[in-house]
A and B are shown apart, each in its own frame.
Chain A
Amino acid sequence: MKKQNSSGFREIEHKADRAIEAWAPDLQGLFVQAAAGMHTLMGIEMLPGPMVTHQLLLEALDRESLLVSFLSELLYLIETRSLACEVADFQFSETALRAHLVAKPILKMQRQIKAVTFHNLEIKNESGLLSVTLIFDV
């Protein structure tokens, strides 16, 4: 449920691909929710046990591009390392982020996402609540 000061995500209908809406009071929360939404769409279950850490430093034109870069980085780790990541710490500017990720091996995954798209991508601010709709190519 999208309420003031709340964080979350929900899947929304898309005829050919997959889409989520994510929301949070701040940019860090929004990125975390978008990542959680993407992992949920993919049906990812992580193995219990030891974690590995991963540092991420990204630069982009604007915060929407940064969000796509961030999620694309997570997809790359899922496909090539079979690792799913959670964010331990973020440092942000409008066009760069430094993230400290904790990654766990993937036990199970239901669906592949090929890519994160820019389709009608806009991070909106409605009375202090940030929200974004993301379309994923499956």
Chain B
Amino acid sequence: MFTLKVFRKISDYEWEIPRTFRADMRVAVRIFMTRQLLEASLDDLSLEQAVNVATLPGVAGPVVVMPDMHQGYGFPIGGVAATEFPQGVISPGGIGYDINCGVRLLSSSIRLDDARPFLSDLAAALNANCPSGMGKAGPIGLKKGELEAVCRQGAEWAVKKGMGSLDDLRRTEENGCIDGADPRWVSERAMERGLNQLGTLGSGNHFMEVDVVDDIFDETAAQAMGLVKGCLVLQLHCGSRGLGHQICSDYVQSFQAAVRRFDFQLPDRELVCAPLDSQEGQRYLAAMRSAANFAFCNRQILAHMARQAFEQVLAGKVQKFQLRQVYDIAHNIAKIETHVIDGRRVKVCVHRKGATRAFGPGLAGLPEEYQSIGQPVLVPGSMGTSSWVLAGTHVSMERSYGSTCHGAGRVMSRSKAKREVRGDRLRDGLEKQGIHVRAGSLSGLAEEAPQAYKDVDDVVETVAGAGIARKVAQLRPVIVVKG
């Protein structure tokens, strides 16, 4: 379906599929990729999925795709779409099943050389403290009323219980709580699935990782974020667990009828949607925000348990074992924001599916210390490879609805990765590189092998080249904990 002739080249890092490419497109598709990455993306359905998104009713401007894009279901992973508020639509599939899947980064002044003798113990303590894998219950059994409070309050709920600080909240997207959450629109079944999963990492590509700051590209920004070359940091990647999965399932199912009611013609049933100002749209927004707040709280509690692990292992052995929050950011979410589209300031609903908010300097909502440098952007790499800390830019505000990439992006199916990679050999190879691995399942480890992903450095070079994020620091893993 796609050949390079389809694309209009804007720059070495930016391409466009014009609106005229398919009759049902309402807007163009803007692609942030090098030629090499673009050619590689022709072999799956991701570009077709991006074109499908461009047909959504009320889509306000170009659909944007990131260099880590890969095939998903409905929306491509690495896609951003802005729909007019409130007449445009919201599409649960454009946020995904793991609502507010995201990344949290904490910095330290622990030097790798000082911590090296204790890394194995630290890996064991993180693995023991932070429940991961399938079916693992969290440390906090909630009653329904408490879960409703988590859905309304987000990370603040955990901070009130002594699991973190106000500084953590300040350095979390939306201060760890999105307004407008209403658990009345979350099903009983979703609530039931959330009751025992708070404070759990989950499985799949979710992880906890200790990294060392390997390189600094922007001293001023790194200093503001507390990132010091040669010191340890902690990354957490997880989301809203079964609560979010069930909410998305419930609304994708119920929106099947909404699409008929509103007489929307869609190329894929996973793209079902409803106007933001409809009863269906409002209820989904309220439920989705509840799950987003659950996820912020989940990462807050996991960070607390990770801090306890650092204290258990490193207190008295290194000078300062404390972890300070750098930022916490969602990469599966819809947010109501204002952006300039075709020279007009427009209030829109930005769907980010496998894409990270990347607000530039001076934007409302950023903590004071990040006002001049832009919002921290956290880009985990594949297992065993670099991760990156970036900063949002003015260009991201102009070209990508204040968004950028979220990771490396898959290039190989999970079943192929499992056929080609042996989990035990992968673990041994990582251990030889000095990376301590704790994994619940060796086959799960194999599915997440580095060769199953794009090179995250290529992805980061692309967003930096396009100007939709700025490089701040490169991280190298020393401990990986996976479910």
Q: List chain A positions with a Cβ less than 8 A from chain B.
A: 11, 13-18, 60-61, 64-65, 68-69, 72, 76, 79-80, 82, 109-112, 114-121, 135, 137-138
With A13-B416, A119-B269: A137-B203 Cβ-Cβ less than 8 Å? no
Cα–Cα distance between A80 and B194 once the two chains are bound (Å) = 10
Shortest distance between the CB of A75 and any CB in chain B (Å): 8
**Most B CB atoms within 10 A — which of A11, A80, A137?**
A137
Contact present for B270 and A61 (CB under 8 Å): no
Determine whether B428 belongs to the interface, using a CB cutoff of 8 Å to chain A.
no
Residue of A nearest to B71 (CB): A15
Q: Which residues of A contact B256 (CB under 8 A)?
A: 60-61, 65, 118
Contact present for A119 and B411 (CB under 8 Å): no
1/0 per residue B48-81: CB within 8 Å of A?
0000000000000000000000111110010000
Q: Which residues of A contact B70 (CB under 8 A)?
A: 15-16
Which of A13, A109, A114, A137 contacts B415, CB < 8 Å? Answer: A13
Contact present for A121 and B71 (CB under 8 Å): no
Contact present for A137 and B73 (CB under 8 Å): yes
Contact present for A17 and B253 (CB under 8 Å): no
Shortest distance between the CB of B89 and any CB in chain A (Å): 16
Determine whether B114 belongs to the interface, using a CB cutoff of 8 Å to chain A.
no
Residue of A nearest to B96 (CB): A137
Cα–Cα distance between A135 and B414 once the two chains are bound (Å) = 13
Cα–Cα distance between A82 and B196 once the two chains are bound (Å) = 14
Determine whether B288 belongs to the interface, using a CB cutoff of 8 Å to chain A.
no
Contact present for A79 and B269 (CB under 8 Å): no
Cα–Cα distance between A110 and B441 once the two chains are bound (Å) = 8
Contact present for A14 and B253 (CB under 8 Å): no
1/0 per residue B397-440: CB within 8 Å of A?
00000000000001111111000000000000000000000000
With A16-B77, A64-B269, A69-B253: A115-B97 Cβ-Cβ less than 8 Å? yes
Cα–Cα distance between A110 and B77 once the two chains are bound (Å) = 24
Determine whether B242 belongs to the interface, using a CB cutoff of 8 Å to chain A.
yes
Contact present for B135 and A79 (CB under 8 Å): yes
Shortest distance between the CB of A127 and any CB in chain B (Å): 25
Contact present for B193 and A80 (CB under 8 Å): yes
Which of B192, B269, B414 contacts A118, CB < 8 Å? Answer: B269
Q: Which residues of B contact A13 (CB under 8 A)?
A: 413, 415-416
Determine whether B103 belongs to the interface, using a CB cutoff of 8 Å to chain A.
no
Contact present for B97 and A119 (CB under 8 Å): no
Q: Which residues of A contact B202 (CB under 8 A)?
A: 112
Shortest distance between the CB of B152 and any CB in chain A (Å): 23
Cα–Cα distance between A18 and B412 once the two chains are bound (Å) = 12
Shortest distance between the CB of B163 and any CB in chain A (Å): 25
Cα–Cα distance between A115 and B73 once the two chains are bound (Å) = 11
Contact present for B270 and A14 (CB under 8 Å): no
Which of A111, A120, A138 contacts B268, CB < 8 Å? Answer: A120
Contact present for B44 and A17 (CB under 8 Å): no
Residue of B nearest to A16 (CB): B410
From B244-252, B279-287, B364-372, the one touching the partner chain is B244-252
Determine whether B260 belongs to the interface, using a CB cutoff of 8 Å to chain A.
yes
Determine whether B340 belongs to the interface, using a CB cutoff of 8 Å to chain A.
no
Cα–Cα distance between A138 and B98 once the two chains are bound (Å) = 10
Shortest distance between the CB of A120 and any CB in chain B (Å): 6
Residue of A nearest to B441 (CB): A110
With A14-B71, A111-B444: A65-B242 Cβ-Cβ less than 8 Å? no
Shortest distance between the CB of A124 and any CB in chain B (Å): 14
Contact present for B413 and A14 (CB under 8 Å): yes
Determine whether B230 belongs to the interface, using a CB cutoff of 8 Å to chain A.
no
**Most B CB atoms within 10 A — which of A80, A82, A118, A120?**
A118
Contact present for A11 and B269 (CB under 8 Å): no
| CB<8 Å pairs between A and B, sample of 29 | A11-B415, A13-B413, A15-B71, A15-B410, A15-B412, A15-B413, A16-B70, A18-B414, A61-B257, A69-B253, A76-B193, A76-B246, A79-B193, A79-B242, A80-B192, A82-B135, A109-B134, A110-B441, A111-B134, A114-B204, A115-B97, A117-B270, A118-B252, A118-B270, A119-B268, A120-B268, A120-B269, A120-B270, A135-B73
